[in-house]
Structure formats: structure tokens, C-alpha cells
Amino acid sequence: SLLFSFLIVLDLTKLGASVRELESTKLWFIYHSVADDIREFSQVLGKALEAQLIIAIINSFLTALGISLLGLGQHVAFLSVIVFFCSFFPVIGVFISSIPICLIALQSDGLQTMFLGILLIAIIHLIEGYILNPRIYGSYMRINSVIILIILTIGGKLFSFWGLILGVPVCTYIFGHAIRFKKQERQGALEELSTEEAKTTADRS
């Protein structure tokens, strides 16, 4: 997926021009129907990924700091890189990144350090879940922090992994773009409503 994304970005200008050419074909009605919606959703998803990138960087920094305090400074770079990439996978990423931390702590200084490592991971996970996710997602997506927590909770319960990843951008797109009138549609709806009200008044008189 990373390679595919890189190829898209590398040839994005030509790819965009090719897609816009559909407007001059017999499929122009499909292009006009879906082009704006796809563009808006991609922008929302992009903001969500930017927010997740910042969360991953902060997670890596906190983990590096905690590992150094535990006396495992020689493994900071290796473990921080694992935490960074695993931060893009909610819930399951925490467990994946915890395994090497616990094993290295156990091998280096025994059970006590391993339990301290588990405590460190739990604290960072709580900071991520209740502070970083709501604040950073709320700032990027312009949604209240409480609503972010509700979306993540419901999305995780209903759709597990994919609900945690796509819950916020999908809900932002639906309530911020998909169900709202565009300017022209809103104007047309208001004019239609005014016409119906005028007809109703004329019928009554």
C-alpha cells in the first residue's frame, strides 16, 4: 500500500488530468455526480492521517523518554521506530509494540523492569486515548473532543479495527459534507420551498 501510494503521488498531476478528462466524455454525468464527493472525502481522510501522524510522533517521543528512564537507553531508537509505525494501527498496534518492549525489559533487568514497562505502555495508551486523540483529531477535524471519544468508542465496538481507523473521517465527511446542501442546492431548495408556500397561500385565499 505504501508503494501504491508513492506511485500515485509521483504521478498525481497526470493522474488528475486524466480523471478530469472524463468531464468531456459520455460519462460526464457520473463525473459531475461523484467528483466533488470523492475530493471532499479524500481531503477529510488526509486530515485524519495527518492527525494520526502527529499522534504517532508524540507516542514515539513519550516511549523513548520512558524507555530511557527505565535504563534501556541502548534500545531507544529500535523500540521508538516500532512504536511509531504501530501507532497507525489503533488498539492492535499497542499490543504489537508492547511485545518487544516487554521482552527487552525482561531480558535486561528482569520482571520488575518488565512490569514497569507494562505500566509505561498503559500510561501512554491512556494519554493517547483520552488526551491526544480527542485534542489532535478535534483540532484537525474541527470536532468537539467528547464527540471524537464517542465516535471512537462506537466505531471500535461496531467495526473493531476499521471503525477506529475510519470512524472519525467517515463521520466527519457524512455530517460535515455529505448530508449538507451545497450552495446551489440550498438556493434551489429555498426557492422551491418559497414556491410551495406561495401556492399554498394562493389556494387558501
CA distances for 7 relative to 16, 18, 38, 40, angstroms: 13, 15, 19, 21
Written as one string, the DSSP assignment of 168-195 is: HHHHHHIIIIITSPPHHHHHHHHHHHHH
Number of C-beta neighbours around residue 160 at 10 A:
13
Model confidence over 59-87: pLDDT tens digits?
Answer: 899 989 988 888 887 888 888 899 898 88
> Can you give the pLDDT at residue 26?
80
Q: For the chain, what is the mean pLDDT?
A: 78
Number of C-beta neighbours around residue 31 at 10 A:
17
Rounded to a whole number of angstroms, the distance between the first and last alpha carbons of the chain is 66
Looking up cell 449538507 gives 180
What's the number of CA atoms in the CB half-sphere (13 Å) around residue 165? 10
pTM: 0.66
How far apart are alpha carbons 109 and 70 in whole angstroms? 9
| Four-residue CA torsion sign, 41, 43, 44, 49 | positive
Mean pLDDT, residues 191-205:
59
> Can you give the pLDDT at residue 201?
61
Residue type, 61: F
Name the grid cell of 156.
471500535
> Can you give the pLDDT at residue 163?
78
Is pLDDT at 99 greater than 80 in this prediction?
A: yes
Q: Indicate the DSSP class of residue 89.
A: S
Residue type, 52: Q
Name the grid cell of 88.
497507525
Model confidence over 178-197: pLDDT tens digits?
Answer: 666 555 554 554 455 566 66
* Measured torsion, CA atoms of residues 23, 26, 29, 35, in degrees rounded to the nearest 10: -40
